Amino acid sequence: MKRAVIALIVAGTIALSGCSLITFESNPATSSTEVTEISEETNGTSAPAESTAVDTSSAETTVTETTVISEETATAETTAVQEPVPAGKVVILATGGTIAGVGDAGKSAGYRPGTLTAEDLISAVPELADVAPIEAIQVCNVNSDDITASVWIELANRINELSKDPDISGFVITHGTDTMEETAYFLNLTVKTDKPVVITGSMRPSTSISADGPMNLYESVCVAASDEAVGKGVLVVFSDLIFTARSVTKTSTYDVMAISAGETGACGVVRDGAVYFYEESVKCHTTATEFDVSALDSLPKVSVIYFSVDMDPGILRYAAEHSDGIVIAGAGAGEFSEGYIEVINSLKIPVVISSRIGDGIIIPANLLCDGTVAADNLPPQKAAVLLRLALTKTKDVSEIQEMFFKY
């Protein structure tokens, strides 16, 4: 009787204060029931004040049923949650360059490229583990001006062999920016897999203020792990942008946005780890090329001759004696002096005509000399890459010209 009176007094007090009813029991085991009731009432399901005299056992039964339903719902929700499918492994092949450079703290010049190892680069970006499992391979650790054909061939052969592993989804190559575009184009012509192959680097060493290497590496791994990048050939990722290997070029000696693509522009972007593609190259690449370097340990020699006013054409004769082919970086639409024309007409090796301008196209109608090859829109350094590979197949100028149109 006393207990009923106390309950009524408490109920009346709570009702006057505008609060919800909480039934007090002497048994501590009902604390979970109290919490459930608070939750229900907070959600707007509390009973009106008139129902405060409802039998306690009935209320307990109702709450118990509600608790069971809540537990069942939680179980169902737990069952519905699935673990994310882990991405395939991304292999990082490090070659050195500014991204692995170390110098005076805070400064962006006067550093030593090719100092940090692949493991050092990876440890600086712990977020990589959230994208994909990572494997590191140190191919070399040099300034990219010291990259050689043997390094190119090793990279291509390693990627071709590793790509057979079904657990590997893609590759990232860390590289100096000076010759990045040449390595990218070589691999674009010699890699025999549709799995993404991405090249990146940085314009600032790791010790500078606001070093760009870690972000470029992170975004490159995101692209290499992306299904969207499959079959698009070798790509270069730099400063949030994605470029095709054929179009990419370096356009500044210091700008953090030094990697560009001239007239063709970027083919995609990376934002907060998400990969977006908008364009892709129509030129043949990777598995669709005829070039096989698996049995090679070197490439034919090609010299690039830069024309300028009053250049001694004798340099062409010297180059021809030490090369299997020549690329001319001509003025304007691949033009040069009468002295050059005379010497070129006498040469017995393939000569490709490109331009020192950086943008534009050289077509056969632009050629000043019969028997030379128009470089299409390839800059001299990339024309040299294609000519070196072409010479592993043929010395016929007409066949080489077809390759320049095709690749």
| Side-chain-side CA neighbours of residue 83 (13 Å) | 3
Integer-rounded Cα Rg, in Å, for the chain is 34
What would the two tokens of residue 255 be?
């700008």
Catalytic residue among 98, 174, 193, 249: 98
298 near 392, Cβ under 8 Å?
Answer: no
CB atoms within 10 A of CB 210: 9
Two tokens, residue 256 = 């953090």
- Burial, 138: exposed, middle or buried (Cβ in 10 Å; 0-12, 13-18, 19+)? middle
d(Cα 51, Cα 72) in Å, to the nearest integer? 28
Query: Contact at 8 Å (CB) between 112 and 143?
Result: no
DSSP annotation string for 173-186? EE--SSSHHHHHHH
Active site residue 98: yes
Angle between helix axes 314-321 and 338-346 (nearest 10 degrees) is: 30
Q: How far apart are CA 49 and CA 47, in angstroms?
A: 7
Helices (H), 81-138: 118-123
Cα separations (Å) of 94 from 10, 188, 293? 75, 18, 20
Q: What angle (nearest 5°) sits at the alpha carbon of residue 384, between those of residues 247 and 157?
A: 80
Q: How far apart are alpha carbons 353 and 363 in whole angstroms?
A: 9
- φ/ψ bin of 97: left (φ > 0), alpha (ψ from -120 to 50), beta (otherwise): left
**Contact between 10 and 3 (Cβ < 8 Å):** no
Mind giving me the DSSP string for 243-257? EETTT-EE--SS-TT
- Residues identified as active-site: 98
